[in-house]
Amino acid sequence: ALMAGNTCVMKHDPHVPACAEAIAELFDQVGAPANIMQNLPLATPDVAQAIADKRIRGVSFTGSDRAGAKVASMAAAAIKPAVLELGGSDPVIVLADANLDEAADAITTSRIINAGQSCIAAKRIIVEAPVYDDFLARLEQRLRKLTLGDPAREDTDVGPIARDDLRQNLHRQVTETIEQGARCVIGGEMPDGAGYYYPVTLLADVEPHMTAACEETFGPVAVVLKAENADQALTIANDTEYGLAASIWTTAERGEMLSLQMEAGQVVVNGLVKTDPRLPSGGIKRSGYGRELGPHGIHAFVNAQQVWIGPKQD
């Protein structure tokens, strides 16, 4: 938005005001023009008034689909464009011809980054039947090596969940999924002590109708499903209200072909799902609309103007 020539006001989640202050201060430190990026520490109920303000010309929101629906309705009521980057139940497909070690390494990183609290993290791991047990063993081996603890320590791999209510909801999802018939390979128990920690958890033999396969799991919980073949894997992957990011592990040529059938705004073949400032990023379905980054992201915050100059030519 700034690259396109706009000014911005930034409203962070009320739980992380220091992050917003730090970002705003960076613009002062580098000598950017005054007030092109301003921190707006509003209480959430006051957001509607800010969106309605005539000085605000567009809205970009990152958050849950529930909150995104509210922001979208506010922007629509004020007849203003919006970009929504919302939640996801991101699938990763591992087929029998994949490099299982490379897939297990990348999926472990993707699932655990930021304690699993990432909208584009791998959440549903769909493995083709012939390599299901083999891949599950490799994933378990990697997850068991991870250390849960203080994020300020160098030897910590997984930090805490952001809030207790989020941790409680994550545990509900795990508990319900186990009660529905899934197998808990590691983790799954709420730890004692201070801090909103949740153990690295691996749920196997998960079915598409189970809670952890239907809802977005925002924490260090790996959910593994079995598919008989690539067609069934695609069906399971697309059977969700979300459509943010996805990945496929197979041969490059086959992966490119299958990616065209994935219902997601971003698909990676044989790699880690991540954002790149050169490429558009965003979702479909309940994962939002519009695109951030890349040329599409710039175009989201400019107005296309037609200018015609006479006289008329014969």
Annotated active-site positions, please? 85, 119
Peptide bond into 295 cis (omega under 30): no
Would you list the DSSP string of the chain? Answer: -TTTT--EEE---TT-HHHHHHHHHHHHHTTPPTTSEEE----GGGHHHHHHSTT---EEEES-HHHHHHHHHHHHHTT--EEEE-----EEEE-TTS-HHHHHHHHHHHHHGGGG--TTS--EEEEEGGGHHHHHHHHHHHHHT--BS-TTSTT-SB---S-HHHHHHHHHHHHHHHHTT-EEEE--SPPPSSS-----EEEEEE-TTSHHHHS---SSEEEEEEESSHHHHHHHHH-SSEESEEEEES-HHHHHHHHTT--SSEEEESS-----TTS-B--EETTEES-BSHHHHHHTTS--------SPP-
Look-up of token digits 């506010």: 74
Calpha distance 92→107 (Å, rounded): 8
Nearest CA among 249, 291, 240 for reference residue 266: 291
